[in-house]
Amino acid sequence: MQTITVNLTSASDERSYPIYIGNGILNQPGLVLRHLPRKRVAIVSNTTVAPLYLESFRGMLESHGVTSVPIILPDGEKYKNWETLNLIFDALLAHRCERHTLVVALGGGVVGDLAGFAAATYLRGVPFIQVPTTLLAQVDSSVGGKTGINHPLGKNMIGAFYQPRVVLIDTSTLDTLPDKELRAGIAEIIKYGLIRDSAFLEWLESNMPKLLARDREILIEAVRRSCLHKAEIVEADEHESGVRALLNLGHTFGHAIENAMGYGRWLHGEAVAAGTILAAELSRRLHMIGEADVERIRKIYLRAGLPVVAPNLGPEKYLHLMGLDKKVEAGKMRFVLLKRIGEAVVRSDVPSEVLRNMLSECTADA
Ligand code: NAD
Ligand code: GLY
């Protein structure tokens, strides 16, 4: 097992936490027990993940005297909303869960974002832990404390920064993950290479067939290196006033795609992949990177089996949806662009004509 620490120590409080990564570690009671304030937890999962992992996890806790309230949500991005959040509150209240009841998020990014937001707001905050079961959640969403829900007008627009007590990454849960979901997770892994680690991108280029074949060592290494990047960024800028925004490479376009197509039609990772090609193309048109760089980025996404052509929503629709992005400041859109492979920057001076032309020329009818 490997341990990475997200260091959030300050003079006034201590919110640092470990990320444990290993195969089969969900059955190691000590990793959870040492973080429990009381021997009672509420486990939030969904109708797909619960039949796979809930009973054995509950059983493991029960054998150590921990009682649990299971809260099973409907599965899907389209349920990442107020109604589903309320289902969690209903269950927590109906079971009289108190301040020391710890919330466990057992599932992918949707369960993690919902359960984390519920924990951030229930009784003004109860402790929670992340047990991510998708590759995307293991390399990105479970670390860093972003929690929240979608709004019909914009993705992830309602939420809170709220850090977990521990992130428990059991890579054996990926054995049951559909290929399409595995590929969506790879999109976020590639992102770390593009924004801050060209050597990691090269490693991914060499190891893509093994990653897709779920080679255990390669998977663990990809998760470990991704979590190291995520932890470093979150430590430097927990509330996204600076460098954390770089994690949104491709996301401004991607969130617009997810919203316009209907939440759940394009997987988050798929929308990020196609969105990153648009960000790369915009970077090229602003003379920041060259055509060969764009080709290289397109190639790695293609090799990962991810979409590289964004849908043609029309420039106006993109601009409208991107105007609701969380990075908008003083009414100005801000874009994460590539200075080179391995280095990203935020720019708010993209000429509207360059953006519109790029959106017309680089998208295609679905
Ligand atoms: P998801 O949670 O919808 O999971 C994908 C699918 O896989 C679901 O059907 C789920 O039930 C199923 N599943 C989960 N684990 C499984 C397993 N082990 N075996 C079989 N099936 C399994 O999607 P996701 O890709 O994990 O997360 C996407 C969400 O994460 C989006 O809402 C996105 O906005 C959010 N996100 C949040 C952050 C953050 O920092 N909080 C970062 C990136 C993405
Ligand atoms: N996934 C983006 C972030 O955590 O900041």
In the structure, which protein residues have their CB atom closer than 6 angstroms to any atom of ligand 1?
46, 48-49, 52, 75, 77, 80, 107-111, 113, 133-134, 136-137, 140-141, 144, 146, 156, 173, 176-177, 181, 184, 268-269
* 319-359 confidence digits (pLDDT tens): 999 988 777 887 789 999 999 999 999 999 999 999 999 99
Catalytic, 78? Answer: no
Q: How many CA atoms lie within 13 A of 114 on its CB side?
A: 31
Give the max Cα distance, the chain.
63
Catalytic, 239? Answer: no
> What's the 60 CA to ligand 2 centre distance in angstroms?
31
* 157-204 confidence digits (pLDDT tens): 999 999 999 999 999 999 999 999 999 999 999 999 999 999 999 999
127: which 2 tokens?
Answer: 């402790």
In the structure, which protein residues have their CB atom closer than 6 angstroms to any atom of ligand 2?
140, 144, 146, 244, 247
* 83-124 confidence digits (pLDDT tens): 999 999 999 999 999 999 999 999 999 999 999 999 999 999
Nearest to 16 by CA among 3, 33, 1: 3
Catalytic, 251? Answer: yes
> What's the 165 CA to ligand 2 centre distance in angstroms?
18
* Helices and strands (H, E) in the chain, number of each type: 13, 13
Tell me what pLDDT residue 11 has.
72
Tell me what pLDDT residue 326 has.
76
* 248-301 confidence digits (pLDDT tens): 999 999 999 999 999 999 999 999 999 999 999 999 999 999 999 999 999 999
Q: Is the pLDDT of residue 234 over 90?
A: yes
**Measured between alpha carbons, how far is 297 from 70 in angstroms, rounded to an integer?**
42
Q: What is the dihedral of CA 2, 52, 273, 195, to 10 degrees?
A: -20
Tell me what pLDDT residue 83 has.
98
Instruction: List, as own/partner pairs, every contact residues 353-358 make where C-beta atoms lie below 8 angstroms and the sequence separation is at least 24, other chains included.
Output: 354/282, 354/285, 354/286, 355/282, 355/315, 355/319, 356/315, 356/319, 357/285, 358/278, 358/281, 358/282, 358/285
> What's the 134 CA to ligand 1 centre distance in angstroms?
6
**Measured between alpha carbons, how far is 109 from 105 in angstroms, rounded to an integer?**
9
| Contact status, residue 41 vs residue 66, Cβ threshold 8 Å | yes
Element at 67 (helix H, strand E): strand 67-73
Tell me what pLDDT residue 324 has.
80
> What's the 109 CA to ligand 1 centre distance in angstroms?
4
**Measured between alpha carbons, how far is 278 from 355 in angstroms, rounded to an integer?**
10
Tell me what pLDDT residue 27 has.
92
Coil/strand/helix, residue 336? strand
Catalytic, 188? Answer: yes
Tell me what pLDDT residue 10 has.
80
Please report the atom of ligand 2 found closest to the CA of residue 245: 5
**Measured between alpha carbons, how far is 117 from 160 in angstroms, rounded to an integer?**
6
Q: How many CA atoms lie within 13 A of 313 on its CB side?
A: 21
Tell me what pLDDT residue 84 has.
98
Catalytic, 255? Answer: yes
Percent of the chain at pLDDT > 90 equals: 94
The closest residue, in CA terms, to atom 3 on ligand 2 is 247
Predicted confidence band of residue 12 (pLDDT cuts 50, 70, 90): confident
Which ligand is closest in space to the CA of residue 47? 1
| Contact status, residue 121 vs residue 52, Cβ threshold 8 Å | no
**Whole-number mean pLDDT of the chain?**
96
Which ligand is closest in space to the CA of residue 231? 2
Please report, for residues 87, 213, 357, the alpha-carbon distance to residue 138 in angstroms, rounded to integers and kept in the order given: 25, 17, 36
Which structural domains are found in the chain, ordered by start?
A: 2-176 (3.40.50.1970), 195-364 (1.20.1090.10)
State the sign of the Cα–Cα–Cα–Cα dihedral 216, 218, 219, 224: positive
153: which 2 tokens?
Answer: 């007008």
